[in-house]
Amino acid sequence: MKTKKVEQGTLLVLLLMAVIYPFLSDRYMLSVGISVLLMALLGQSWNIMSGYAGQFSFGHAAFFGLGAYASSILYVDHGVSPWIGMIAGMAVAALVGVLIGFLSFRYKLRGDFFALVTLAFAEILRVLFNNTKALKAATGILIPYKDVWSEFQFANDRIFYFILLAMVIAATIFIGLMSRRKFGVCLIAIKENQEAAGSLGVPVLKYKLLAMAISAAIAAMAGTFYAQYYGFIDPTVVFSAAISVEAIVPCIIGGAGTLGGPLLGALIIVPLKELSNNLFEGVNGVNMIIYGVLIVLFVVFCRDGIYGTVIRRLKGARS
């Protein structure tokens, strides 16, 4: 039970830090904080589908982009509040997620192949949006600049920060609760051994699809936030592989399949990246070399992620 307490304790500490942070920081640090939270949210989204359920996605940009586009098109073209647009985007993304999942699972894709299919879907969406005039094609969508809370627009970035924080907390609590129930246990069973889980009466397909739907919806939520906060989206931005990578990085660094992993991962990697950007301004490219080296080192020496390793150590200390 103590491990659980550590887990809860860490989450609480993270929460406390996250709440205090904006009051200690200036605009730049607030912006870095938002980058951290955005990555954490994407990570949490990736986590449920890939970390818990073991269906490794390399195309989370698809859901992210759908969320961003759904709310932005509804907002700009039809005057629908992005708050509602966000829900719509989550629904669309969940639907597409289920569709991709259904097809993939029907054809029994796993591992690399599943990852490649999700990647291909994200790319197809990028090309599709880039070439479809009705979806603004390559021009992208500019979000009007206002300060109206009902339209998800704030002049004060601190409010954006807290909204995003609320999203991260909601996603984390949601996943935390789910993972402690039958759903979570079954997902882990599916990850460990799908056939065995199936033979024990776990509705494998249903649970996997559900995990994908939840995952996609959370990514879409992040997409809407992104559009509203940065104020501009186009297909090459929101459907890019870079977004898919952003969803994976915090989980691997922090620990995939753990509740606090993505949060801790984002909290570590974003500031490190920012730090190397700031320290190596003289010679271009060095910042990215450092970033690459960091990733390699983390993956090699901390295979279960930082959070995962700590948890494992705690458990290991027992025996």
Residues 7-66 that bind other proteins (CB under 8 A): 7-10, 13-14, 17, 21, 24-32, 35, 38, 50, 54, 56, 58
The three-class DSSP label of residue 141 is: strand
> Binding to other proteins by residue 206, rule CB under 8 A?
no
Footprint on residues 242-271 left by other proteins (CB under 8 A):
242, 245, 248-249, 251-252, 256, 271
Among positions 19, 185, 196, 200, the unique one binding other proteins when judged by CB under 8 A: 185
Footprint on residues 213-242 left by other proteins (CB under 8 A):
226, 230-234, 236-237, 242
Q: What Å distances lie between residue 250 and 98, 154, 189, 217, 294, CA to CA?
A: 24, 27, 23, 18, 12
Apex CA 144: angle with CA 218 and CA 213, to 5°? Answer: 15
> How many angstroms separate the CA atoms of 51 and 256, rounded?
5
Among positions 77, 144, 177, 206, the unique one binding other proteins when judged by CB under 8 A: 144
Residues 6+ apart with CB under 8 A from 204: 190, 194, 197, 198
Residue in 213, 215, 219, 189 with CA at minimum distance from that of residue 201: 189
87 or 161: whose CB is closer to other proteins? 161
- Shortest CB 3 distance to other proteins, Å: 4
> Binding to other proteins by residue 159, rule CB under 8 A?
no
Q: Do the beta carbons of residue 313 and residue 255 sit within 8 Å? A: no
91 or 275: whose CB is closer to other proteins? 275
91 or 188: whose CB is closer to other proteins? 188
Query: How many separate helices (H) and strands (E) can be counted in the chain?
Result: 14, 2
- Shortest CB 85 distance to other proteins, Å: 18
Residue 142 belongs to what H/E stretch? strand 141-142
Number of residues that bind other proteins (CB under 8 A): 108
- Shortest CB 286 distance to other proteins, Å: 7
